Amino acid sequence: MKRRTFIKGAAAAGAGLAATTRVASPLFAFNGSPAEKVVMAVMGLNGRGMVHAEHFAKMPNAEVAYLCDVDSTVLAKAMNTTGKLQSRAIKAVGDFRRVLEDKNVDAIAIATPDHWHTPMTMLAVNAGKHVYLEKPSGHDAHEDELVVASQKKHNKLVQLGTQRRSGPKLIEAVQMIRDGAIGKVYLGRAWYANTRGTIGKGKVAPVPSNLDYELWQGPAPRTPYHDNTIHYNWHWFKVWGTGEICNNGTHEIDVCRWAMGLDYPTRVISTGSRNHFDDDWQFPDSQQAIFEFEGGKSIVWQSESCNGLPTFGRSRGSYIVGTGGAMLIDGDGYIQYDIKGKVVKDRAAAPAVDPVNTLGDDPLTALHQINFIDAVRTGISLTAPIADGAKTGMLCHLGTIAQQTGRILHTSPANGHIIGDAAAAALWGRTYQPGWSPVV
């Protein structure tokens, strides 16, 4: 969008967000007055990070000071694109740690591979920066706990990139559900369908001259460079990625958990497998996970990464079922049904972008980032604070552990920890490259 269109549209759609509850005082690490701009740095620019950079550069109350990527070709392209969107000159950096040394940077946006999310966030808040963090919140369940503990220790804002939390219509739908519009809710269904192709079987290859592969790996154990990994296929390797349940399930499962007012489950079951190709993909391309909670409530996740047959005519979405009806939620829109399936209220969103596009640029992202900037500037509440968002991340990781072990997991409703299964509990965290283990 052009700058004028972006500002006008975001202001109109986000009017309800301005009334979000304010905290007792401004939030400390912003260097100027609320009338001035939040100085941003954006980490990871090959896909989603470009959406971040362009949005922040267009905002009237933010500006981008640094762009950072370990791929010099990607970085140069991002500099050329983003530099045209604001008057302030942008600095290009290969090593993000140099950015953390700049006291003039108020906040950073992280859109790196998943294995960097928690360690980079922890380093940032320790350096006094607020963070806009793309999902998932961590590479594993232990990192979900680490990132929350670090945020609390350093008292910085960390917004998880579950942008549906900032959707005006979704906020309305959730409030309706909480007010009893569909009766007592007991089931949430979340789904995602795509037609991803094979990633093949990679071969060990020389590291491209434009890539700092050592820093790209960072906290992950060292692995020889393969020709089918970077820049996107790392999602499907356990050492760096987290599979479809974290890649896309985070959004839809989060909507169910939010609407139903749920935290941690008591039981997790998962089935599925890799069906479509014989390649290096290490996660299921078809998965059905069930999360059971106290009070007889449950969330069901279904993904088909390589078979795009839609559900309710949609490639992704959430469906909340209650004793008095149901609510179909899609993007920033919803349809309310009565107990017989008759439409009671239709507030469906017009599809603005391809819902399975890897960049994921949409109006909700703009609203979510505006909420983050306003929280840094004025102290209003985040719509997706990490302390809550990491609970969704933990659900997704529990689904992966149940899938990998092939067993029913019994978990504590107090914190999600696995009960009575030492082998499954051993998958709670990961092994780090020596010298890279994050410490709160």
Q: Tell me, what's the pLDDT at 14? A: 41
In which band, very low, low, confident or very high, does the pLDDT at 13 lie, cut at 50, 70 and 90? very low
Q: What are the helix and strand counts (H, E) for the chain?
A: 13, 16
pLDDT beyond 50 at 101: yes
CB-based contacts of 363: which residues, under 8 Å, 6+ apart? 9, 10, 13, 332, 352
Q: Tell me, what's the pLDDT at 6? A: 35
Q: Tell me, what's the pLDDT at 58? A: 95
pLDDT beyond 50 at 200: yes
pLDDT beyond 50 at 15: no
CB-based contacts of 177: which residues, under 8 Å, 6+ apart? 185, 259, 260, 320, 322, 327
* Mean pLDDT of the chain, nearest integer: 91
As a whole number, mean pLDDT of residues 315-329 equals 97
**pTM of the predicted protein model:** 0.91
CB 297, CB 187: distance < 8 Å: yes
Q: Tell me, what's the pLDDT at 365? A: 94
- Between CA 191 and CA 189 the distance in angstroms is 7
Q: Tell me, what's the pLDDT at 30? A: 55
> Hey, what domains does the chain have and what are their CATH numbers?
3-165+361-386 (3.40.50.720), 168-200+217-355+389-425 (3.30.360.10)
Q: Tell me, what's the pLDDT at 357? A: 57
- Between CA 377 and CA 27 the distance in angstroms is 8
Q: Which residue has the higher pLDDT, 351 or 295?
A: 295
Task: Report pLDDT digits (tens) over 336-376.
Answer: 999 999 999 999 765 555 555 555 567 899 999 999 999 99
